[in-house]
């Protein structure tokens, strides 16, 4: 190997190490909790707490500083997202259902997602959930490669099942987590390590924001200009919104 090439290889190695160290430093500082396989997160405005879902069927309630207040195994569910509501938690189950859990009693009921001839399965399961308004939930469907299959499902909860009322092709690969803020939809992609801002009314992607490199699986905002991410590798991160220009 020539001297010039050795210098080039050494320089690249140093820069790579520094970049990874910077990410590690940022995430270490931002980490507020360790939650195994954290797959979704939602802010509860009426209690000023966070609800985190995990892949093994458990819910966690945390303070906004990361102290665990409650941990409960709900059952054999692959939970991929959660919405905190006034009286209930609504979880997205990867295989194609919504799990409604009473906040006081923790009693639960599962509603299958049906309609529009949409196939939900292991390769194209539900990955995120958000509620917009009083009637509709929006579910992100996993698509790691094909943009034409990167869809949102708008569903309405009925007495026995959740009915798909609209399919929206947002074309965001691996849309792993959703949140709605200031009339815009926020979508995180683990595969791309990016935060996408999407206008539902115009069905248009407005902005892409680079995120630190971790396994983004959920996003939520509190009332104090903080943004939180669920990391599938086992963590919850907290940042100020201005860190991402939001």
Q: pLDDT per residue over 81-120, tens digit each?
A: 999 999 999 999 999 999 999 999 999 999 999 987 777 8
In percent, the amount of the chain with pLDDT more than 90 equals 70
Task: Note the pTM of the prediction, 2 decimals.
Answer: 0.85
Domains of the chain: residue spans and CATH: 34-244 (2.130.10.10)
Cα–Cα distances (Å) from 90 to 21, 25, 82, 235, in that order, read 37, 34, 6, 21
φ, ψ at 178 (rounded to 5°): -130, 150
What strands lie across the sheet with 88-93, from one edge to the other? 79-84, 88-93, 97-102, 108-114, 161-169, 151-157, 136-141, 126-132
Side-chain-facing half-sphere of 30: CA atoms under 13 Å: 24
Q: Which pLDDT does position 147 carry in this prediction?
A: 64
Q: Do the beta carbons of residue 167 and residue 190 sit within 8 Å? A: no
pLDDT in tens, 169-189: 888 878 889 999 999 999 998
């Amino acid at each position: 190997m020539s001297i010039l090439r050795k210098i080039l290889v050494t320089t690249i190695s140093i820069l790579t190490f520094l970049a990874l160290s910077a990410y590690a430093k940022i995430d270490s500082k931002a980490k507020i909790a360790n939650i195994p396989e954290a797959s979704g997160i939602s802010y509860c405005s009426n209690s000023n707490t966070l609800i985190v879902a995990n892949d093994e069927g458990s819910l966690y309630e945390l303070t906004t500083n990361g102290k665990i207040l409650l941990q409960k195994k709900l059952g054999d569910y692959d939970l991929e997202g959660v919405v905190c509501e006034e009286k209930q938690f609504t979880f997205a189950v990867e295989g194609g259902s919504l799990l409604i859990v009473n906040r006081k009693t923790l009693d639960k009921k599962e509603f299958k997602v049906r309609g529009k001839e949409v196939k939900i399965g292991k390769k194209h399961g539900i990955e995120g959930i958000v509620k917009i308004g009083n009637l509709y939930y929006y579910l992100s469907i996993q698509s790691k490669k094909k943009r034409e299959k990167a869809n949102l499902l708008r569903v309405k909860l009925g007495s026995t099942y959740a009915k798909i009322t609209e399919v929206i092709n947002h074309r965001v690969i691996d849309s792993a987590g959703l949140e709605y803020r200031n009339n815009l939809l926020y979508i995180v992609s683990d595969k791309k390590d990016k935060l996408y801002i999407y206008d539902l009314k115009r069905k248009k992607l407005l902005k892409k924001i680079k995120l630190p490199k971790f396994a983004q699986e959920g996003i939520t905002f509190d009332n104090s200009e903080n943004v939180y991410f669920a990391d599938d590798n086992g963590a919850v991160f907290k940042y100020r919104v201005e860190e991402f220009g939001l």
